[in-house]
A and B are shown apart, each in its own frame.
Chain A
Amino acid sequence: MERIPILKMGDFLLVTIQVDMHDQLALTLQDDLSERISQTSARGVLIDISALDMVDSFIGRMIGTISGLSKIMDAETVLVGMQPAVAITLVELGLTLPGVSTALNVERGMKLLQDRVRDQ
């Protein structure tokens, strides 16, 4: 089955979405991530969407769900790399991703996660 790879980097998990996702693929990622957080006791999840040229309400909901469930599992989620056109479209669509932390790129996102984990 087609899957989006989840990489472990120290205490964090890194997901880079590089394909045009159909809905089932997004749901599989959601399940896989919760399982990996539990397996690895990860403290943070970094989701890189810099290669995504569109985020619709389905993907937006998936991002919100991942963020919520990782929080419950004691891991922080940071969404990074959203393209400007995608951000403008999301807001116009009516999706503002409440409760989801964001950073401009992977480097800043990683820093944000490290700071948060250290503060805890």
Chain B
Amino acid sequence: MTVRDSGTQPINIEQDVVLARQLTRKLATECGMRLIDLTKLVTAVSELARNTMVYGGGGNMDWQILEENGRTGVRLVFRDEGPGIPDLKLAMTDGWTSGSGLGLGLTGAKRLVEEFELDTEPGKGTRITITRWT
């Protein structure tokens, strides 16, 4: 697997969530991703970037364009140094929310991408990696 390009988008204010979505759309378009897959990826980014801002207290979205066996993918890492997720099983339950949302962000985002990896430690922060291939 080779990394063709990479960068970082800070996520600290609401407008950064919009910027993260727009950047993802641009990256996915450059990869030639189909509209439906692109829409799913951008929606997942919106959910996760909002979580980084609201629950993580701000953080970053690292992005990579990957190439492997003739296919291209977009990998995004959302990382914050917030309070972490104390009960991961509960957080990954549809409809459960610690805030005022619908409780679909984390579980919904997972359904919208092909690869989803979550590392969290209470008091240290959360790191979510998602990948979608063309």
Contact = CB atoms under 8 A, between A and B. Distances in A.
Interface of A: 20-24, 53-58, 60-61, 83-86, 88-89, 92-95
Which secondary structure dominates where chain A touches chain B?
helix
Nearest to A25: B14
B94 interface: yes
B42 interface: yes
B47 A94 contact: no
B53 to A, nearest CB: 9
A60 B50 CA distance: 14
Contacts of A86: 39
B15 A57 contact: no
Contact of B18 (A22, A93, A95): A22
B112 A53 contact: no
Contact of A89 (B21, B43, B102, B107): B43
Contact of B43 (A20, A21, A23, A55): A55
Contact of B107 (A24, A55, A94): A94
Interface string B1-32: 00000000000001101100110010000000
A22 B17 contact: yes
A20 B22 contact: yes
